[in-house]
Structure 1
């Protein structure tokens, strides 16, 4: 069983049911399937073959859903990309993934074109609007007249998509999933969250993220649910559409919840149709969760603590758990996923003892694409080592206390300190640098740089920011910059970030 089979069954079951709503465009399941088939057949007619990689650099839209499904139907392997990437990051992913086609929003066309000049494997660029560059084509021109379901055999073991994570060594890693892994994750989510065929999803977080893509879009299409897609996050539009479309399933990152609670007209709207509220992608404090529970007047909140490599799967906190354990990541793994905390020697921890969270199950990634050493380091004896450190209380609830890989989560986006450090180390006036996360009431954490200038150098903060903007996505740029004479290191030269965090005193907000 795979997404294509079940989606096409849903088309036969309820062809006139609304599948996707995006701005002024609405698709029934029958109309969506015809549109998807036209693009799928058009891609095959243009030479795209089963197993080839197709990159998507698109904001949330109907075009994203159509392109994703079209590629899945012909057996192409999807590479959804963060649309906030800069050229350096974009070039690495396009080359490392072996992509042969890029489908993008028009606003990203010129950046992609300048990037692919050194990537001969890419044969086509398709844009969602009129192309600005000769030789590129619109998505409409890629449509075939053939509306039939493509006759491409798909095995459960065929690869489906590569989801890139932030890298700990300066480059991201592509988590590879086949159909059976994605299907297992969807089944686990559907069972655990209690989805049914009458769900109405609203899509706010970016669809290139594993959370929004799998927890909401593919799982909803698997069931035959209705999807209301927002291109950008706007609190007023969110409240309006929850009421207008009687949304039943709501997922957002903590910064979005904060913005909704701060919206001045939040009390004007009826949100009682929402049966479950879920949050994830970044930690959410107990006070934040309780404020949401109070405002939305429901106890049906779910904490989803997972990671891309897990499908995303991990552990979850149920509504019942929220009544007494708000702030915990949860007690048990997602359906079909085992979870436990272990010490460095592999022993399972006792209550109160800190250990690494590890996961096992059919939801876990197949591998890091073309990275055998990183795969072997992360997948050991059938278990996915997450790098997250936590402890269980006497009742078995898990509390995450640190991230062993020094990942910073800012506004739901993952930032690895090593990547930012590597960029700043390239600045001619910097002798040493460390990146840490510091608390922020709006973003959860912000990137903070502690810099040791070269002797006799005075660094201009404005020039440093301009340098960063050329080499880093906006969310990775340090918001706080501190200058020190030296950084705390041990005898072997290893940076002691725990001491750095102790000496850095930046008041939140």
Structure 2
């Protein structure tokens, strides 16, 4: 299997980073790789936190770390002090790249080693946390933990290439790192190219590179000899777009981004020119999909996650334009089974828990590895139809039980969106002494005089009475992360406090 530097050599003569300096990327990668190789003479590969904002530096640092077989932790430079505290407690990094540490030229890996850099980030870049690090007591408390991590990395390094830790779970307030490797990411790339029957992948990336959705766009283009455009979404939204041929590119969006682009006629027309518009990160609502279909956008709704190195099921654009509304068929590198609670495999059109087997599956959550990587059961509920298309019903953990009835929010949210009287919606269950859980809708109205009574009247003709929310809370915006996923934990707190205040 080709390794990172092999792919780097293949693109030396190719100006593949559109809008960026491809030559600078290659030079910087080689420079950082040589610095790391010098450090490796000391034994265990250093743990690297990668939080570079600038795309060329991020990608060069990533490839250098992978080529040197150093464990690299991809991080969001905009995390707050509590999130960074979690990361430093967990990782105990040796090197920090990004966050203003080091100069703008050669950052000097050796100069950024140790907990001094960590202290500067926590104490100057961010507000000082209550238990500021580092201090002697804190270091003593984590010394045993660090020893376990070192043994883990040493053990895994003998079995796999570079360990790539990709963040997940940030929207719930608890950051986890899925342990991927160069091999698992490449398995995802091969599954993608085989599914779409292409050799080179040109990607237009508006998603964060530290997230699996952005990283995999880079991986597909870098390893297949394709071109890569990296632009902040706000730049695209303002209409500042590179002069490329969209019909030769894939673009990846989350539903909220698609919604915003469809509000601009020029950008809507621009989207229609792409060969494929991949849509993932969060469930898309029916109205949004219908609008995209009306404009003949070649949409490809996807299903995947950080733990599977991005998508493992995708609806092809022709199927979407012909009226299908599911997550598509399974990519070649993966298998999906639908099982009941006892683990029995269900037949077509029977709803159950989604169980995944894939070559792109993570090794575990850092610092633990999974003892059994043959099957990965997720919280999502769905079914496979006769043609093998995956249909997502909802999440088991989001199930609401009210008055003894089981309710999945996705159905209620879709019905509310169809009224076209709200701009955003999330349905949750709030503890209730009479019903067990009371169905509660937190929504963003389309205008100031939106009537919830009118919305409920419309819903009575569409939903059973017990599925109509009992409480309605209007908000200016709903808390979503960069992938468009709702922060339900925060909404639970908002709803609980609101209902307590109204009952006082």
For the residue of structure 2 that corresponds to 1:202, the secondary structure is strand
Aligned residue for 1:257? 258
Aligned residue for 1:458? none
Aligned residue for 1:210? 212
- Distance in 2 between the 1:443 and 1:111 partners? 36
**How is 1:18-417 mapped onto 2 (pairs within 5 angstroms)?**
18-22=15-19, 25-28=20-23, 31-45=24-38, 51-59=45-53, 61-106=55-100, 109=121, 110-111=124-125, 114=128, 118-119=133-134, 157-166=160-169, 171-197=174-200, 199-214=201-216, 216-237=217-238, 240-241=241-242, 243=244, 248-263=249-264, 265-266=266-267, 270=270, 274-295=274-295, 297-298=296-297, 300-324=298-322, 326-331=324-329, 333-371=330-368, 375=370, 379=372, 382-406=374-398
Q: Quick one: structure 1 residues 245 and 44, their matched pair in 2 at CA, closer, same or farther if it must change by over 3 Å?
A: farther
Q: Quick one: structure 1 residues 360 and 78, their matched pair in 2 at CA, closer, same or farther if it must change by over 3 Å?
A: same
**Residues 65, 162 of structure 2: 8 Å contact kept:** no
Q: Quick one: structure 1 residues 236 and 362, their matched pair in 2 at CA, closer, same or farther if it must change by over 3 Å?
A: closer
For the residue of structure 2 that corresponds to 1:221, the secondary structure is helix
For the residue of structure 2 that corresponds to 1:233, the secondary structure is helix
Q: Which one of the candidate residues 474, 482, 495 is aligned to 1:481?
A: 495
* Higher relative helix content: 2
CA-to-aligned-CA distance 1:361-399 (integer Å, 9 cap, x gap)? 221111222236xx45xx57x101111111233444322
| TM-score (norm. length: structure 2) | 0.67
For the residue of structure 1 that corresponds to 2:73, the secondary structure is strand
**Residues 220, 227 of structure 1: 8 Å contact kept:** yes
* Higher relative strand content: 1
- Distance in 2 between the 1:218 and 1:204 partners? 15
- By how many angstroms is 1:337 displaced? 0.6
Residue-pair matches, total: 393
- By how many angstroms is 1:259 displaced? 0.9
**Residues 348, 385 of structure 2: 8 Å contact kept:** yes
- By how many angstroms is 1:448 displaced? 6.8
**Residues 254, 283 of structure 1: 8 Å contact kept:** yes
For the residue of structure 2 that corresponds to 1:99, the secondary structure is coil
| TM-score (norm. length: structure 1) | 0.66
Aligned residue for 1:424? none
CA-to-aligned-CA distance 1:220-257 (integer Å, 9 cap, x gap)? 10012221112343344566226578761111111111
- Distance in 1 between the 2:273 and 2:265 partners? 21
Aligned residue for 1:134? none
CA-to-aligned-CA distance 1:380-435 (integer Å, 9 cap, x gap)? 7x10111111123344432211212349xxxxxxxxxxxxxxxxxxxxxxxxxxxx
- By how many angstroms is 1:98 displaced? 3.5
- Distance in 1 between the 2:185 and 2:320 partners? 28
- Distance in 2 between the 1:101 and 1:118 partners? 16
Give structure 1 stretches of 5+ with no counterpart: 124-153, 408-435, 453-464, 469-473, 487-509
- Distance in 2 between the 1:44 and 1:117 partners? 32
Which structure exhibits the higher relative contact order, with contacts defined as CA atoms closer than 8 Å and separated by 6 or more residues? 1
CA-to-aligned-CA distance 1:302-352 (integer Å, 9 cap, x gap)? 222011111224322123432455321223x22211111110111112234
- Distance in 1 between the 2:10 and 2:80 partners? 39
**Residues 192, 335 of structure 1: 8 Å contact kept:** yes
Give structure 2 stretches of 5+ with no counterpart: 102-119, 140-156, 400-408, 433-475, 480-484
- By how many angstroms is 1:217 displaced? 0.5
- By how many angstroms is 1:478 displaced? 3.7
